Amino acid sequence: MTEGWIECIPNFSEGRRPEVIEGLREAIRGVPGVLVLDVHSDPDHNRSVITFAGPASAVAEAAFVAIAHAAKAIDLREHQGEHPRIGATDVVPFVPLSGSSLEACVALAHSLGERVGGELEIPVYFYEAAARRPDRVNLEDVRRGEFEGLLTSIASDPGRAPDCGPARLGPAGATVIGARLPLIAYNVYLTTSEVRIAKEIARAVRHSSGGLRFVKALGLDVNGRAQISMNLTDYTRTPLARVVELIRREAHRHGVDILRSELVGLVPEGAILDAAAWYLQLDGFEQAQVLEARLTAMREAPQPGDLGFLDRLAAGTPTPGGGSAAATAGAMAAALTAMVARLTIGKKKYATIEARMGVVLESAEGLRHRLVGLAQDDATAFEAVLRAMRLPKETAEEQASRDQALEAATLQAARIPLSVALAAADAAELAAEAVEIGNVNAITDAAAAVAMARAAFQAAAWNVRINARGLRDPEPAQQWEEALATADQRIEAAEGRSLAGLRARAEIA
């Protein structure tokens, strides 16, 4: 089985010496199989964040090499910067990507921590999902007192004893290693130099002091400008736009405004699209409406026989699922019909039907490409349903907003398999015609296309009906049932034509 991919985003306590930052990047890039995705350095924070990804074993090796390099190049006894820190390599989070899981990241964190503590003799603390103690889940709790405070307490205070490695600090300090889901590191600068205002706004925004859930925030002085530095730990439940607007309102209370903002490292595409849809008031907006996203989806959508798609289908993830498989089966039906048409066109024996087979070929190819796109659309639609289900519902207003989003997402999740079912009926009719008049040497291929179209229809119809059950408004479901009944009749007729053609032309009962 293919090894799952993992993202790693180590934070290093160095943002001012380019040669050290480049050395860290090169150390990571030198590990085969690892892709360095981004390097972000901030001289005021005196901190660099390097984002890389790859198979689990390669990512673990790259993280170890980087920690070892940082231990030689960065001396925490001489370090100064605005950002809290306890180590040269301050924090190393692992994030699951395709084919991986949070549990795999936890195991990777523990394995790396034992190696760092043993081979490099650097104290290691585990946090977030990898935490071995409840008081170490939150990074800010582990890092409280920073390097200077930990110097005196690590050996004397049992509560500060590391999870791995020696209970003493060297020039490289300690390292915090963990596993978590994706977060957004996001900073907002205010039109003031008064850090007091930034601290008050940070207090209003962060969850631990009564603000928004899944938001961690600090007020800092960065190069003479008040900054709110944040980690958004679940943008699907506390969207970026909501955070920005709360900061804006709080800033206005103090007579200031937002000057600008910045991202540290990479951000999930969905977070930016959600913010754009909120500000533009694009109700019902879907990622598939973005031109580049649609092009990428069409290029990367599952192709019939694509073993990569089969691996993704077999993985323990909700998408792709039966809806994508149904669309792929329909695309296979159309592809088989196109093959039969091509085997017929240009043959003297079939010259009288060549023009008609040209139309069949064009129609089959159009259906094939449409169904390939629907395979990706189905996965995207179901992911939208999952996002809607994760929306907060603690207040009446949140519940109403969640219900509205879930209804819209479920409607789309039903409409796409309905399109697959209707396209499958078109594919069945084209395939039946290929059985009747196409190259007799490929007659069973055309008949197989009819059978694939029936499978695509049946699987898609089940998806339509299961999604229809989740709707509050029953009217669309009634219309869908009528459309499905008509499509079912068309496919049944195509199956009859196919069977008759097999009997008459190939003498297959």
The helix/strand count (H/E) of the chain reads as 15, 11
Cβ count near 308 (within 10 Å): 11
Q: What percent of the chain has pLDDT over 70?
A: 95
Task: Decide if pLDDT at 306 tops 60.
Answer: no
CA distances from 138 to 80, 101, 106, 216 (A): 23, 20, 15, 10
Nearest residue to 170 (alpha-carbon basis) of 156, 192, 190, 155: 155
Question: What tokens does 196 get?
Answer: 């007091």
Q: Which of these ranges, 1-5, 29-33, 71-75, 403-407, has the smallest mean pLDDT? A: 1-5
Distance, CA of 328 to chain centre? 22
- Distance of alpha carbon 153 from alpha carbon 51, whole angstroms: 32
Kindly report the average pLDDT of the chain as a whole number.
90
Q: What are phi and psi of 25, to 5 degrees?
A: -60, -45
pLDDT in tens, 221-255: 998 999 999 999 888 889 999 999 999 999 999 99
Residue indicated by tokens 């977070």: 271
Higher pLDDT, 501 or 509: 501
Residues with a known catalytic role: 83
SS3 content of the chain, % helix, strand, coil (to 5): 60, 15, 30
Nearest residue to 252 (alpha-carbon basis) of 190, 186, 189: 190
Average pLDDT over residues 80-84: 88
Read off the pTM.
Answer: 0.55
Q: What are phi and psi of 340, to 5 degrees?
A: -60, -40
Residue 206 DSSP code:
S
The pLDDT assigned to 1 comes to: 35
- Distance of alpha carbon 54 from alpha carbon 162, whole angstroms: 28
The pLDDT assigned to 382 comes to: 81
The pLDDT assigned to 82 comes to: 84
The pLDDT assigned to 2 comes to: 45
Q: Which of these ranges, 8-12, 292-296, 423-427, has the smallest mean pLDDT? A: 292-296
Task: Decide if pLDDT at 299 tops 70.
Answer: no
Average pLDDT over residues 436-451: 94
Instruction: Give whichever of 287-301, 358-372, 462-476 has the largest mean pLDDT.
Output: 358-372
Q: Which of these ranges, 162-171, 184-193, 464-473, has the smallest mean pLDDT? A: 464-473
